[in-house]
A and B are shown apart, each in its own frame.
Chain A
Amino acid sequence: MNVLFATLTLVTFFPVLGVLALLFVPEEQKDTLRWTAVVTSVITFILSLVMLAQFNPADPGMQLVIRAPWINIGSTWNIDFHMGIDGASLLLVLLTTFLTPIAIFSSWTAIGERVKEYMIFFLLLEVGMVGVFVSLDLFLFYVFWEFSLVPMYFLIGIWGGQNRMYAAIKFFLYTMAGSILMLLAILWLGTNVGTFSYTDMLGKVPAAAQGLLFVAFAAAFAIKVPVWPLHSWLPDAHVEAPTAGSVILAGVLLKLGTYGFLRFNLGLFPEAARQYAPAIAVLAVIGIIYGAIVSYPQKDVKKLVAYSSVSHLGFVMLGLFALNAQGIQGAVLQMINHGLSTGALFLIVGMIYERRHTRELAQFGGLWKVMPLYGTLTLIVTLSSMGLPGLNGFVGEFAILLGAWGAGGAGGSYGSVLYAAFASLGVILAAVYMLWMFQRMFLGKVENSANEGLKDLNWREVTVLVPLLIVIFWIGLYPAPFFHLMAPSVGKLVSALQTAAVALR
């Protein structure tokens, strides 16, 4: 197939066309700029639906593969433009293309200055994120991985809050610190395995070298996720980022890390993954509980949601390193869930911030009486985030805990059910901090006179939230299609992991 017009190329690079169009729109025509960006991202989403239609869920391998020589010189350089998707990356691409238009649409009134640059950076960010999920060449992957840092750096640094420059540079340096070790590991693989192609490399990484390589890749991904204790950039970045930036940061960028663990740490280094599983699980459980405990006393709603991400992504990590089908499927679904629920929570925080210009919990109270629609929608999202049955969070967390329990049994990767037990504690704690937040914001009497005349949500804000809520209910009530999409790919990975486990004994 022609590489230029292949589905994956189009899905990845279509936003670039939008960027080119934006360059020719004058800065003053703000609405034209906004519409151009929204339409571009909606078309990208439609293209990703085409990709979904072309995807065959029964096939566990890489699909829609495109491969063309890129930097090929003699025998020393063999880097390809190599893309493809399996079930897991398909879902994550869909999450990205789904959240991007929502995020752009949500910045309609929040971003009033330098709209042009804002929209350009947002679309470039989408290119970087989708690129990471579809790359099958480690060099190409690294290019997208690093590239995605740059637009986010600008989004935080230009349109962020008071302390934005500090937060932006901290975000950048933290993430880059991790990636440079991964770069060395990629170079080592390219030299010693003789290829940069992920699919060609599978099963060929010598077991003796896997330990260090695993650590080098994990350094990059763990900072991005972030795994406790590498999370300290996250609250700063979230608090300073503009609302839409936070939505994408929590919704997609953090998943780049968990996706990296899934694709590379589990896929390329199965033996090492097996050996490191208990250690990572310990960090994951600490993250779950730490994130929950730290969320509770936060005075700033946004910071509370940010810390809750640390907790939620702890679940994802726990599920991934259970190394069994339930755990990994639950983890992939939970990546999607977290993107939806936390994305929605950041949107909700942004809506009240636009009205009151504060995010202090103490400033609110009794909002439900003033803004009933807002209150109802927030309640649903809150419940989804804490994992109430019938909503999306429950399904993912349940599968993860099931997997973790299995991993604690005989022959499992952790060797103890204590992990699952402690992680369950995190579910309870989530209920505590989420409900506490909801109670302080929405219940009781309106005590602050500034809150009295607040307008309820307008049509645009409802439009932003409704698609998220639909998917939240969909996954909660009927998750089968999502599992159906990823099950064969995850199954293939799990069987490779089991072969590795046998080899280790």
Chain B
Amino acid sequence: MTTSDFNAILPVLVLTSWACVLLLVDLWIPKDRKAITAWLAAAGLAATLAVVWLLSGFNLSGFGGMVALDGFSRFVSAVVLVAGIVVVVIAPGYLNQRQIERGEFYILLLFTISGAMLMASASDLVIVFLALELLSIPLYVLAGFARPRAESEESALKYFLLGAFASGFFVYGVALTYGATASTNFQQIAAAVAAGQANLLLLSGGAALILVGLGFKVAAVPFHMWTPDVYEGAPTVVTAFMSVGAKVGGFAALLRVFFTAFPALSANWAPTIALIAALTMTLGNVAAIAQSSIKRRLAYSSIAHAGYILMAVVAGGAAAFSQFAASSALFYLLAYGIMNLGAWAVVIALEKRDGTTNPIDDFAGLGAARPGLAIAMTLFMLSLTGLPPTVGFIGKFYVFRAAIDAGYMWLALIGVVTSLVSAFYYLRVVMVMWMKPGEGPVALPRSLGWVVGVMAVATLVLGVVPAPLMAAAGRALLSLFASA
């Protein structure tokens, strides 16, 4: 292992080593003081974030081009790490209340985060697969963390079975791609295609199967079936991470694979992904209307948002504007992460201790009982709808613009129409909070209050001053397109 190899995986290395150390340390932490593990985990995440930040400006490649540390992977890593910190901050209270606090929770979370980071760094299909499993396996366990609650166990099993199935598709896709190009390295695949040495039929089949595998991770229609049940059954803190971290990781791999390995096939995959995006936005938003449980409603909402991000991927596939368009995907991921984590944090605050059902009527009267919380939730809902002046509006504006630039007016039209549909169910939550009388006050742990507050401020501030982050997202993609 050379220094450059070492540097290229340094952030992931720091985090996984820390997780291993913590696994041992946790043995000596008494059962009733697991919050210490949480703080240690948060410190590890913060340290990793610092490493990511210290490495900014570098463009490294390691292990014979299998792993890359560049602007893109740093941007994605930062998003996932921040999401991780947020979850670690709110988890102790939640787990403690339900008497399922065990130290492994935080350690599994660290492993799954390193998986998501590695997905953004992977430049070889084998590493993508490795990262995919590193991301998924701890998540399967985390989904069942509320054992012996049947819903949680069901959630874990469902996620595991369908996840294993999707991994199968992915590996088969990798095999076909290898058969077609004699390589699993992104750049070599692209080079083989450019040189005309690839069997295009095999390669298209491989790309399609890889798309299926990753489509499952990001919960795109028609690979979304698991999402509502898994999101509903899993402990809500896990759901919150799943809806952001796992999705961001999946999209990172999707972007890198399709932009650097298969750019020459974009005329084939862009229309396919466009169709998937259209289906995802439509089905996610329409199905969300009928849900009476807030967790299921947000699950469908997160399916729908995958559609908007896919729209940006499609736009990136159209050559002339690809960098601009692909950076809209990154910006949207970030915007989605902020508003979605905020919304889940509010859901966690309101969840009943038994945690069995979460009807939307639980939000009744929140405007009077807890105006601050209700204002924040209103912001998140407006942002998820895509209304100004929030970060969600800027994200949608960016994505729609990318789609129109790329000549996908019909897709943008579906995007705006489904946004209108989504207004109906997001506003329904707002309506219940402010316009229906409710019960007494809600207890709000301080850590949760902080998370909700920070996310609400970010939703608003980034909605008014989005330019610096847009520029950062654009810079993050430079490396991706330089290597292509």
Contact = CB atoms under 8 A, between A and B. Distances in A.
B323 to A, nearest CB: 9
Contact of B467 (A72, A117, A177, A183): A72
A236 interface: no
A172 B466 contact: no
A55 B374 CA distance: 42
A147 B423 contact: no
Given A73-B474, A76-B324, A165-B431, A183 B400 contact: yes
B427 interface: yes
A298 B470 CA distance: 53
Contact of A180 (B404, B420, B424, B434): B420
B434 to A, nearest CB: 6
Nearest to B325: A76
Interface in B390-425: 393, 397, 400-401, 404-405, 409, 412-413, 416-417, 419-420, 423-424
> Binding site of B, secondary structure by majority: helix, strand, loop or mixed?
helix
A213 to B, nearest CB: 12
A135 to B, nearest CB: 12
Contacts of A181: 416
B366 to A, nearest CB: 13
Interface string A158-197: 1000001100110011001100110110011011000000
A180 B400 CA distance: 11
A187 B397 CA distance: 8
A454 interface: no
Nearest to B436: A165
Contact of B412 (A76, A143, A187): A187
B420 A177 contact: yes
Contact of A157 (B434, B466, B467): B434
A162 B400 CA distance: 39
Contact of A191 (B368, B389, B405): B405
B469 to A, nearest CB: 10
B422 to A, nearest CB: 10
Given A169-B424, A187-B400, A71 B388 contact: no
B431 A184 contact: no
A165 B435 contact: yes
A184 B413 contact: yes
B474 A74 contact: yes
A177 B382 CA distance: 15
Contacts of B467: 70-73, 77
Contacts of A164: 435
A418 to B, nearest CB: 37
A147 B417 contact: no
Contacts of B324: 76
B442 interface: no
A173 B382 contact: no
Nearest to B385: A176
A177 B419 CA distance: 9
A3 interface: no
A150 interface: yes
B387 interface: yes
B475 to A, nearest CB: 10
A181 B417 CA distance: 9
B470 A191 contact: no
Interface string B298-322: 0000000000000000000000000
Interface in B207-223: none
Given A173-B423, A177-B420, A187 B470 contact: no
B471 interface: yes
A216 to B, nearest CB: 10
B388 A147 contact: yes
Nearest to B403: A187
B388 A146 contact: yes
Which 9 residue pairs spanning A and B have beta carbons closest together?
A180-B416, A143-B388, A71-B467, A157-B435, A187-B404, A187-B401, A76-B324, A73-B471, A146-B388
Given A73-B470, A188-B409, 18 more contacts: A71-B466, A117-B367, A139-B397, A143-B389, A146-B388, A147-B387, A149-B387, A158-B435, A165-B435, A169-B431, A173-B420, A173-B423, A173-B424, A180-B416, A183-B397, A184-B409, A187-B397, A187-B401
6 contacts: A144-B388, A146-B393, A183-B400, A184-B413, A187-B400, A187-B401
Interface of A: 70-74, 76-77, 114, 117, 139, 142-144, 146-147, 149-150, 153-154, 157-158, 164-165, 168-169, 172-173, 176-177, 180-181, 183-184, 187-188, 190-191
